[in-house]
Amino acid sequence: MSAADLQTPLKRARGLGSAKSGVHHWIVQRVTAVALIPLCLWLVYLVLAAMNADYAQARALVHAPANALLLIAFVLAVFWHAQLGLQVVIEDYVHTRWLEIASQLAIKFFCVLGAVACVLAIVKIALA
């Protein structure tokens, strides 16, 4: 029996260096979080402004270049941040392997589709 057989997986992994992407998830979650602080406050302001607007006025709000830009930034940050967060929740609580993989895929597909749909809608309004 070699020494490696008696070692825990942690002992074998230690000292081998980083897996290259170890903190990437953590960092992107923080970067999108910081971006979302001003973007969320601005979105609440925009929604309050759009609340009593009729259709044409609401469209004009999103049509304004600064609003369209910030909305796209918000949408990209929010779906990215949501995907990262939901991924960790599933990793923590879903222990049935096939269900875990299925829900991870579903979350990722939903977030990408949602982001693309929102950006398409904003671009359509912005360029109209």
Partner 1 sequence: MAQTARPLSPHLGVYRWQITMTLSILHRATGIALAVGTLLVIAALLALAAGPESYAQVHGFCASPFGLFLLFGWTWSLCYHLCNGVRHLAWDAGWGFEIPRTYVTGWTVVIASVVLTILVWACVLTRGAA
Interacting residues toward partner 1 by CB under 8 A: 30, 33-34, 36-37, 40-41, 44, 48, 51-52, 55, 58-59, 62, 71, 75, 78-79, 82, 85-86, 89, 95, 114, 117-118, 120-122, 124-125
Q: For residues 44 and 105, which CB has a smaller minimum distance to partner 1 in the complex? A: 44
Which residue, among 37, 50, 44, has the nearest Cα to 78 in the 3D structure?
A: 37
Q: Which residues does 79 contact at the CB level (< 8 Å), separation at least 6?
A: 111, 112, 114, 115, 118
Q: For residues 15 and 54, which CB has a smaller minimum distance to partner 1 in the complex? A: 54
Q: Are 62 and 47 in contact (CB under 8 A)?
A: no
CB of 75 to partner 1, least distance (A): 7
CB of 19 to partner 1, least distance (A): 21
Chain centroid to CA 2: 45
